[in-house]
A = this chain, B = another copy of it.
Amino acid sequence: MTVRFGLLGAGRIGKVHAGAVSLNPAARLIAVADAFEEAASRLAAAHGASIRTIEQIEAADDIDAVIICTPTDTHADLIERFAGAGKAIFCEKPIDLDVERVKACLSVVRETKATLMVGFNRRFDPHFAAVRKAIDDGSIGEVEMVTITSRDPGAPPYDYIPRSGGIFRDMTIHDFDMARFLLGEEPVSVSAHAAVLVDKKIGELGDHDSATVILETTSGRQCVISNSRRATYGYDQRIEVHGSKGMAAAENQRPVSIEIADGRGYTRPPLHDFFMTRYTQAYANEIAAFIEAMGSGATASPGGDDGLAALVLAEAALRSVREGRRVGVDEIG
């Protein structure tokens, strides 16, 4: 009953998933592949796994599922390949930066009936999941206004920015998925504003570092997303849902929750400073959900269509900024 995993990509996020697999009693990490051999061998050793090539993992009988943590531009190819090889697939977001490429990839997934789950880890954060549960329970009535605040402690390295797809496809994409997770309806229009306020160099590289987005659904439900690439106080991750009967909110998390008071006031420590510590539990729950989906034959959620929908919203937001206007979601793709 143990799911045997192959891991593709032994970088930062690969390590996170390797850790989540190791801690899950229903999972085992069998093999690690990475073009950079030292990374692969170090990670494999830490988890008692072997080093293999992608081809070997593809052909392996002792591997049930793969976790794709390679660079974004390889995701769609690898999904198609492992769908063909009959493996269940967990792929880090995004599937691809190009909407058409994602659509083509998803049609292969459909044909092969492969299990595909996309790495929107925040759905599995216990606090965010509890907000969603409050909605499902009817505790706050009909959802009306969603507010998502999402600010990184610091910007990514300059060399990453040109291949990131820009702030909307790289960072806001998580918030677009969270918006869809909470709104209960699909957004139909997008107004986005974006600017370079944190670091001019980011602007020179063709990207923005500060953005605000409104999403609106057919019935008029509204979601606001506020993003910044720099927050001195830590990794700012909050959601709030206002509904007809009430409000549900998940506040920020900090590694240590003490308070120190003196003549200057009452001070609590900064927030988590990194996604890995902030979302440790979310990553563990995510892999558990993937394993459960594999076992039950249920469609994995969030799946390929969720990955596509978030990317379409990112594309619409980018167009909204570029053209200085509200953009209909149906204008994209």
Contacts and interface: CB of A to CB of B under 8 A. Distances in A.
A255 B144 contact: no
Interface in A217-272: 219-222, 224, 226, 228, 230-233, 236, 242, 244-251, 253, 255-270
A276 interface: no
Interface residues of A, number: 70
A99 interface: no
A261 B244 contact: no
Interface in A126-149: 126-127, 130-131, 134, 139-140, 142, 144-145, 147, 149
Given A23-B23, A220-B197, A326-B325, A263 B270 contact: yes
- Residue with the greatest number of chain B CB neighbours at <10 A, chosen from A134, A236, A261: A261
A319 interface: no
A253 B251 CA distance: 14
A286 interface: no
18 contacts: A25-B46, A126-B255, A127-B257, A134-B260, A140-B260, A189-B324, A194-B220, A198-B244, A210-B222, A212-B222, A224-B226, A233-B246, A233-B266, A245-B262, A247-B262, A249-B258, A249-B259, A253-B257
Interface of A: 23, 25, 46, 126-127, 130-131, 134, 139-140, 142, 144-145, 147, 149, 151, 189, 191, 193-198, 210-212, 214, 216, 219-222, 224, 226, 228, 230-233, 236, 242, 244-251, 253, 255-270, 324-326
